Structure 1
Amino acid sequence: MVIRSTTIPWATHPAVRLVLALVLGIVSWFYWGEALPELLPWLAAGTALYLGANWWATRAGAPSAHDAVGLLGLGVVVLAGTTVAQQATESRRPEHLYHQGPVEFYRAVVDDYTVVRPNTYATTLRVSAVRVAGQWRPALGGVRVSVPRYEAGAQEPHYGQVWLVRGAPAPAKAPLNPGEFDYRRYLSYHQIYHQQFVHPDQYRVVALRPPNWLRYYSMQAAKELEGVFRRYVTAKREFAIANALVLGLKDEVDRDTKQAYANTGTTHIMAVSGLQVGLLFGVLQLVLGRFFGNTRGFRVWSAGVGLLVIWAYAFLTGLSASVLRAAVMFTFVAAARAAGRQSNMYNTLAVAAFCLLLYDPYLLVDVGFQLSFLAVLSIVYLQPRIAHWVDAQEWAARRIRPWQPRWQQKLLGGTGWALDAVWQAVALSLAAQVATFPLGLFYFHQFPLSFLLSNLVAVPLSSLALYVGLGLQAVALLAEGAVQLTGLQALLWLPRGLGWVFEKLIWLFNEYIVWVGEAMPGALVTGIHLTPPQTWLLYLLIALLLAFAAWRRMVWLGAAAVVLLGFSGSRVQADRRIAADKRLVIYSIPRRSALGLHDGASALILTPDSLPLNHTEQTYRVLPGLTERGNRQVRYVAGWPPQLAVRHLGPGGPVLLSWHGLRVAYVSQRLWKGQQPVPVDVVVLRRNARVWPEQLLATFGPRALVVFDSSCRAWYVARLLPQLQGLGMRAHDVTTQGAVVQQVTTGLRHQRVALSN
């Protein structure tokens, strides 16, 4: 009887051990970094201790000593990960904006692409100096700025511009509503801790000094290539997708198109990343191998040509973070293949991740980084195994007989080849989904069941479109150059024809994606909320099932059953907690009044001003909290619905809402003299209601929480808030402090305000 080993072959994957240790150290910084001292001396001491212990173990020659030294080395790598993350955190440094006094002016350089929004330009400034109390001093820090597009003198910012800005940037705002996207944390992961709305008369461009001239020229090249598409791709939607597909410029892709791609699991098509870089590298290696595979030194020089092409492509697409990450990954893959080590792809990918994380440890919390490496790892491990389930070519070969006509034999052979190509694509898509779907549920709260159908056609068509688009760029530049030399306008018919083909290819795969979304409207599962522990449990379950499939030992299946039971228990417990939870939410939505009544899994979202919330307000302000809480039955209502216990206290007077024992008064206009006292829990002031603090105290009692909703102006809040506090009343401004949540549990009312501040 043959007994299969269940041990994991760590000895053949040293880089995997190192990158896991580094990741553990970086994660430790994210959770406990603020309490840690300066770690550089500790890292130096740990490194010295490891070197000394390794020297002693080598001389002693004891296997147990080597094991202990190996564990010590991994501990030093963990410490290195924490130290690198600490050193990469700019806000710790004394010259950071956080530690400056009141800033009068600051000098900064535009250090990012400019995002063109409907009403503003958005970009990032890197500060180099600030003026405080009339004196200039060195400083650093990132500021996310927005510039109004339609004010007099407004111009689009460009990378490398040096700005002199009047005024002080404000710390980035925390999320104001339950479950809302934490933009402040997202910015901090990019070393940006401040925001500012800058009017054209607040800044002046004083110089052009790009932080990185290579990136500056790369971005200029991307703009030139965008101009080629603008000249030869006439349809607006197809032009926007061409920019996104080939150049990674997604500013002009409309919201409906983005949503269609998200609903079908094909968003990756519109991002220049590992897909495009991998297609270029793979096709180039295939072509070179076809024609020059037998030449001397082919493995080395073909890898060099491949690296030259992918880095040239990275340069021409603006050296964006996603394409740089993909280029680095394929650089290590190509180097490993050239060295004859392509069999151990796990070590190669681990080395690439290790180097990237040493360069920027905050990449670990980048969604693109996580999805890219997990997808590649899953494809490397699972795709060959899934592809092995079906052998279409062998199936076709078994049906070929010597007496069959030649055309029939070729037809069967071609059918087998075509079916095999389709199955390989299916295996690739399935393998990528296995490792990425938990992250998709965690970050995006949805899963497109149509991903297989949409990717099976859209990916090959978009890949062909990518090659045609790159060919269009080359042909257009050559043809336009020839026209300038010869004056023969007829030469432009070639790029025009190629542009027509390119546009139709984009139209074809875009229409296919739209058709899949319309033909399978129920295929998008939405409203899924996973907590971080639940996401980890899903990954642990996947790992245990893969271990069982690899080693066929029941211990792995038993462990998977235990993990599945724990995951299911956590979901049941969350549902039980939601079923017993009742809460009232006063939302923070600019210039709007919005109220949420959450009763178990159902929710009623009201707008007392009788104007319904628009799509953007629902999607970004309200929906995240509903998904996080597990609300499955949601209704949006404009005005006060008749089924609620609502009482109007006189014409134009307050509106009194009673809900599960909570009493809420909405005051929109004024309180009349002689108004009878009505004790309530919450008083909501709307539209700068004409009231006096003494009136509020006398009418609603001293225990009421006075809430300024988002329809109140800043000057109104600034005038009334101190007066209310002077009378001993509690007051809250949802515009600056966040939404108000009133929870009702077992007859007791619990108040929670300023959720995220």
Structure 2
Amino acid sequence: MKLLNTPLIITCLFLIIGIVLGLFFPVSEHTLVLIAVLSGVVLSLTFLYTKKQLITSYPFMVVAAVSFAGLGFSISGWHVLDHHQINSNLFEEESQLQLKIKKTLKPNPFTHNYIAEVISGHRNTPAFKILLTEFHGDSLLPHLRIGDQVFIQEKIELVNAPKIPYQFNYREFLEHQHVYGKIIFNRNEIVTIPSAEVSWTQYSVELKQKIRRNLYQSGFESKHIAFIESLVLGKKDLLSKDTYQDFSKAGVLHVLAVSGLHVGLILLILLFLFKPISKSKTGKIFSSICIVMILWGYAFLVGFTPSIIRAVTMFSFLSFARISKRDSSSLSLLFLSAVVLLIYNPCFIYQIGFQLSYAAVFSIVTLYPILHEKIYFKYVVSKKAWSIFCVTLTAQLGVFPLSLYYFHQVPGLFLLTNLLLLPFLLLILGACLLSIIWSSITPIPNLFKNVFEAIIELVLDFVHLVASQDQFILEKVYFSPNMLVLSLIALLMFVFFIYQKKWMYLWLFSGSLFLMEVVYLYETDTLRKQKRFYVFHEHKKSVIGFQQHGKLTLVTSDSLRIKNYEGLEIKQHLKALQIKNQKKNYYAIFGESLFMIDSMGIYQIPEIAPIHYLLLENSPKVNLEQVINVLQPQLIIADGSNYYSYIKRWRETALKKKIPFHHTGKKGTLVIDY
């Protein structure tokens, strides 16, 4: 199997590269037209010149690769332009907005959340999406439904950026889904016109609600319904946080994420059911069409989430290859499905699930046949166990670099957990589907319900047992973007060597691993030598930090959630995180001075003037102009412990005195490197 020796794979690969570049390097509309026209013209002329010798003509392949990269760049560039033309006036002043509910999000104990499209409100404003957050009010009022029209007089706010370094960036996450603002409201502030149109999305939501009611009527407990819905429908609103963390620590979180694994298992069930009619050529075509239609029907039931669209598209291509016994084309179809999805929405490339799915399938398609053939087992049970082990290992090899980069942990027992759980997952998934179908027709008999609940309980207990073995879980692993790129190159070079047996690829594989180790030593040594001073943003709290010798000391008089600082601890490769609850008013910071004025308002200490940084905390009642005259600060900082009215007045004073002013609530944590 020559992995990259086909025009299709090279074309798809460079088209994907172009799409990615177009997202990260936006250009003007005229430039996009020029790139698209030049790419098309050059590709056509080169094709005619080489007289269609696609495989043997290397110059054509080089030009084709560059041309398709240009076309991909144009595709994603147009996508970016279409979704970023937003009227900024809507973010500056209140307007009469007409919104349309497009999607309902998972609620929390305090709010209901929706994605809505701004369809009017300002002349010549293109449609764009915002986040709607409704505080829980009258429980008798129905929730907003998909398709409902909402009228509100409000100003659109930006979604909050993370205030502490390396926290999850929810604003960026929403922007990748073309959601660019937010409105927080109470129900009495809006006028709602219920939707009269037929919405397939809303029908899917109502169908899942009906399934839940049917399961409750059959007598299932909430935690068992939560497991069934997570496994089959991807609904996790009933799933407890502890259960979710157990699956994550055990290395089997993919079991609860409806994506490639579930679609693949359903595909196996369908192949088994359609096997009797797939022996003839006509029957094979008919079964292929039916299988693909059923897969897309399942995608509709789940709700056409990005993960399910990705998985069904990928397996729609791969199912035809498998049924037609053209296994050698699986890798080509894998690349082709990725191209189709990225042309539909280039922002899929940002999604972790997209990256993990394709990395896992790529690794399985390329490495599984080689590993599986190395050992032969005589008995069926041992053969199946070896197959599951090979699939699990090759999939984990593919996603391992990405998992380290995004999650920074290694579940040490993931192979054992998958080996013991996956053989029964097909039966469990089949039982879940049977329960859903059965409960929609008639209540499930107690015997089947009790047996199935016992199986679910056994699975949950097993996963909890594995997750509780903390000594086998490696957490807070430092893995930088440079190390991610080098590890992916190493994996690719390893695949090339396996198939093409060229020592050059082995040397490149070894060199990538060696260079990754060098990068790790260099980056961690640089971080260890780094000196930093922080003024963090915490609501109604004052927190400062000093980083030196790979340690971060947090100084505060309040209690803290250490979880808020885990991202900083990982990204800065900190060995220790210390908390001190005794604050002083004056600190010498690596040769510079910091003075803090708290609620006591004491600042007339002549011997400390002038100072570099002045920190205002806990809303001190002082005349800032007089403070500036006494202390002569170079920078004034106001953290999250102050009243907003005070901060507004201080900002005006600082502007008048021409002194830089940093409000952590607006600009986030102040970080000063030394």
Shorter-chain TM range is over 0.9
CA drift of 1:466 comes to 1.7
Equivalent positions of 1:536-555 (< 5 A) are 536-555=485-504
Confirm or deny: 8 A CA contact 1:702 1:729 kept in the other structure.
no
Give CA deviations for 1:189-226 in whole Å, capped at 9, x if unaligned: 1111212222323322224166x833332222222112
What secondary structure does 1:58 align onto? Answer: coil
Q: Distance in 2 between matches of 1:676 and 1:728?
A: 22
Determine the structure 2 residue equivalent to 1:426.
389
CA drift of 1:91 comes to 5.8
Q: Distance in 2 between matches of 1:728 and 1:10?
A: 61
Equivalent positions of 1:321-400 (< 5 A) are 321-393=306-378
Q: Distance in 1 between matches of 2:325 and 2:2?
A: 24
Q: Distance in 2 between matches of 1:62 and 1:678?
A: 76
Amino acid at match of 1:17: I
What secondary structure does 1:176 align onto? Answer: coil
CA drift of 1:539 comes to 0.9
Task: Work out whether 1:683 is the aligned partner of 2:611.
Answer: no
Determine the structure 2 residue equivalent to 1:181.
168
Equivalent residue for 1:469, pick from 406, 423, 432: 432
Q: Distance in 1 between matches of 2:224 and 2:139?
A: 32
Q: Distance in 1 between matches of 2:148 and 2:478?
A: 42
Task: Work out whether 1:165 is the aligned partner of 2:128.
Answer: no
Amino acid at match of 2:596: Y
Confirm or deny: 8 A CA contact 1:375 1:435 kept in the other structure.
yes
CA drift of 1:14 comes to 2.8
Moved more, 528-537 or 152-161: 152-161
Equivalent positions of 1:127-526 (< 5 A) are 127-131=118-122, 137-150=124-137, 156-208=143-195, 213-232=199-218, 234-289=220-275, 291-292=276-277, 294=279, 297-393=282-378, 416-479=379-442, 492=443, 494=445, 496-518=446-468, 520-526=469-475
Q: Distance in 1 between matches of 2:89 and 2:653?
A: 32
What secondary structure does 2:308 align onto? Answer: helix
Task: Work out whether 1:720 is the aligned partner of 2:650.
Answer: yes
CA drift of 1:153 comes to 8.0
Amino acid at match of 1:71: V
CA drift of 1:243 comes to 1.5
CA drift of 1:167 comes to 0.9
CA drift of 1:295 comes to 5.3
Distance change (3 Å), C-alpha of 1:110 and 1:432: same
Task: Work out whether 1:741 is the aligned partner of 2:668.
Answer: no
Give CA deviations for 1:288-319 in whole Å, capped at 9, x if unaligned: 32x44545633222222322322222222222
Determine the structure 2 residue equivalent to 1:51.
44
Q: Distance in 2 between matches of 1:195 and 1:664?
A: 36
Amino acid at match of 1:736: K
Determine the structure 1 residue equivalent to 2:636.
706
Moved more, 212-221 or 566-575: 212-221
Amino acid at match of 1:738: G
Q: Normalising to structure 2: TM-score of the pair? A: 0.93
Equivalent positions of 1:610-689 (< 5 A) are 612-614=559-561, 618-619=562-563, 621-637=564-580, 639-640=581-582, 647=584, 655-672=585-602, 675-679=605-609, 680-689=611-620
What secondary structure does 2:95 align onto? Answer: strand
Identity fraction in percent: 19
Task: Work out whether 1:529 is the aligned partner of 2:472.
Answer: no
Determine the structure 2 residue equivalent to 1:692.
623
Structure whose alpha-carbon radius of gyration is higher: 1
CA drift of 1:262 comes to 1.3
Determine the structure 2 residue equivalent to 1:40.
33
CA drift of 1:266 comes to 1.2
Give CA deviations for 1:43-67 in whole Å, capped at 9, x if unaligned: 13432443344234329x8998x44
Determine the structure 2 residue equivalent to 1:4.
none
Determine the structure 2 residue equivalent to 1:20.
13
CA drift of 1:338 comes to 4.6
Confirm or deny: 8 A CA contact 1:143 1:196 kept in the other structure.
yes
Contiguous gaps of at least 5 residues in structure 2: none
CA drift of 1:143 comes to 0.5
What secondary structure does 1:684 align onto? Answer: strand
What secondary structure does 1:438 align onto? Answer: helix
Q: Distance in 2 between matches of 1:731 and 1:364?
A: 38
Give CA deviations for 1:152-182 in whole Å, capped at 9, x if unaligned: 8875332222211221212333332222222
CA drift of 1:702 comes to 1.4
Confirm or deny: 8 A CA contact 2:7 2:55 kept in the other structure.
no
Contiguous gaps of at least 5 residues in structure 1: 1-6, 394-415, 480-491, 641-645, 648-654, 745-757
Q: Distance in 1 between matches of 2:149 and 2:3?
A: 53
Determine the structure 2 residue equivalent to 1:571.
520
Determine the structure 2 residue equivalent to 1:754.
none
What secondary structure does 1:593 align onto? Answer: strand
Distance change (3 Å), C-alpha of 1:150 and 1:552: same
Q: Distance in 2 between matches of 1:588 and 1:256?
A: 28
Determine the structure 1 residue equivalent to 2:103.
112
What secondary structure does 2:621 align onto? Answer: coil
Q: Distance in 2 between matches of 1:547 and 1:323?
A: 30
CA drift of 1:388 comes to 2.4
Confirm or deny: 8 A CA contact 2:148 2:195 kept in the other structure.
yes
Determine the structure 1 residue equivalent to 2:23.
30
Determine the structure 2 residue equivalent to 1:126.
117
What secondary structure does 1:594 align onto? Answer: strand
Give CA deviations for 1:334-355 in whole Å, capped at 9, x if unaligned: 2334555343211111221111
Amino acid at match of 2:648: A
Confirm or deny: 8 A CA contact 2:408 2:477 kept in the other structure.
yes
Amino acid at match of 1:712: N
Distance change (3 Å), C-alpha of 1:445 and 1:493: closer
CA drift of 1:677 comes to 4.6
Equivalent positions of 1:63-78 (< 5 A) are 66-78=57-69
Confirm or deny: 8 A CA contact 2:267 2:291 kept in the other structure.
yes
Amino acid at match of 2:485: W
Determine the structure 2 residue equivalent to 1:413.
none
Amino acid at match of 2:653: Q
Distance change (3 Å), C-alpha of 1:307 and 1:164: same
What secondary structure does 2:146 align onto? Answer: coil
Distance change (3 Å), C-alpha of 1:673 and 1:374: closer
CA drift of 1:660 comes to 4.0
Amino acid at match of 2:178: Q
Q: Distance in 2 between matches of 1:62 and 1:231?
A: 62
Confirm or deny: 8 A CA contact 1:190 1:362 kept in the other structure.
yes
